[in-house]
Amino acid sequence: MDHIERFEDLILSIKANGVSEDYLLCKLFPYSLAGEAASWLKQLKAGSLKTWRSIKIAFLNNFYDDAKSEELRNKLSTFTQGPAEAFKAVWVCFKEYQRDCPHHGFSEVQLLGTFFRGVDWRYQMALDAASNGNFNTRYPADATTLIENLACSKVPRMLILRGRRLPELFQEIRWQR
């Protein structure tokens, strides 16, 4: 995973007018490989991998240890917030699990549902309230924005209302960005 991560960081720092990031990643990846990895890529049928996502998944499936992949998938699927963990910290941790195992096989909706079920009930209530009653009815992009807003707000630190009415508090979470 380290090779992929470093490669992506390098390539995504390059800006070429009219050239997509996906194209750069696909075209330059073979030059980042050596030895067994380069041989593996050369033996694939030409044109069988057309996107960076497909190349990355094929690479990880071939070189990533199955036990490690299963361990990370399990961390994602059984995710829970510890009693003393801050909301922002668990959100960062959850995103790291996804980054460390990009071939996990879960949809975005499944991941958001797992995260929601794994956080403390107070945060579930805050996310539900900011979603007009049901967080799980949000589109993934909207749900992610709500989580990011809650993670960045002052509210999660102690979930103290400080004399504010609940609707005002959730409006702040909803429209923080």
Give tens-digit pLDDT for 85-99. Answer: 999 999 999 998 888
pLDDT attached to residue 60 = 81
Model confidence over 119-138: pLDDT tens digits? Answer: 999 899 999 999 988 999 99
Residue 104 vs residue 156, higher pLDDT: 104
Read off the pTM: 0.60
Read off the pLDDT band of 34 (50, 70, 90). very high
- More confident position, 112 or 101: 112
Q: DSSP letter string over the chain?
A: -HHHHHHHHHHHT---TT--HHHHHHHHGGGG--HHHHHHHHHSPTTS--SHHHHHHHHHHHHS-HHHHHHHHHHHHT----TT--HHHHHHHHHHHHHH-TT----HHHHHHHHHHHS-HHHHHHHHHHTTT-GGGS-HHHHHHHHHHHHHSSGGGT---TT--HHHHHHHHHT--
pLDDT value at residue 161:
45
